[in-house]
Chains A and B, each alone.
Chain A
């Protein structure tokens, strides 16, 4: 019997963009089950576009996206609906529904996509909220929550259907360093204790060192993956000096910040 890790996401020869405009091309990577996989890149490098292709919001120009053995690009209507239930997404802003309480937000996928009896839906949603540390905020409206709490609630909602994969878009954006670190602890604990696979889009280096098992770094200039590996490896040993500078927070080779 093989001890090879289970590949839960496989992306092959992916080309993404809008109409005639190609944002990224020749994208190939695999995500192992239970790892925290980070997609990193500078502003405008195509991180969010790639994420939106991975979660099926945009159709890629070319290539394949295999999630749990099903090709999202060519999946039929029913296959695609089933596949969408297998992963959860937490958006950068949280994207909680403002007219619903936190509990109602987390219950929504259970109400709409399962036949569970009402008491079990409520118990499940409450258990998820307890897990992310929002036990005291279940009846609050999203507007009453801090940024960090909104992101926790978004993660609870993304986990409501017991998805094995969670996609997170810029989870630490707009958070203070302490709150961002708290969120990173939650992500690593969910990954390591419950075997949830995380695909995280971010450019927050402090967060990457805390959570990432593996990183791919997108290069907006070449429109492809510049480097792949563990963050410490990329910081110290990346072949591309630009990648090393990025990981070491060094500015580009210019003499002044002013473009005079």
Chain B
């Protein structure tokens, strides 16, 4: 990144990457991409590229972590050393440990954990390329991967962020906007149940701006949710069409 540009959003409301204020980055979702995982998904959200593998339900190791009344969900968010401009140490950083926890807590309400006590689910999230908003993209992909593993869910969880750049509230910040902008509000929801599973804020917003940002993010989530469902269906529809020909 070079120096800070004068304006992140111009008078016409067009952002640095050419998007309008309430426009999402292009998305690509794919389910069942890993042969050896029980469930898997891949997401390309703008320049973000994230791969998720899910294993289980299976025995928990070490054994003392298992719970007698419910299933435990373990989550590992990891960024590849080549995922950012400057090489990132492959060891889990403070930020990655925190994000693992945040993502786990965003996914946990969607899983019927009480159905299979003593067992555990492992979710491995590998960020191959990062460009802002990886936690939301990771949640979207992880939820798909869990569904692909055949684990019973209340609803798919979908994540999307909104934020403030210059004086405008905008949807789906990318890296430069996130770093130079005023605030970032990642939101994850279960759209059919109308439930929020993740809500964070980094920066300063007025109560009014915060409300606009949350509403904007929720609208974004709903758009992504449609694509998420489509991705899950596509895997099985293609087989159906082939066979019917």
Chain A partners chain B: no
Interface residues of B (CB under 8 A from A): none
Interface residues of A (CB under 8 A from B): none
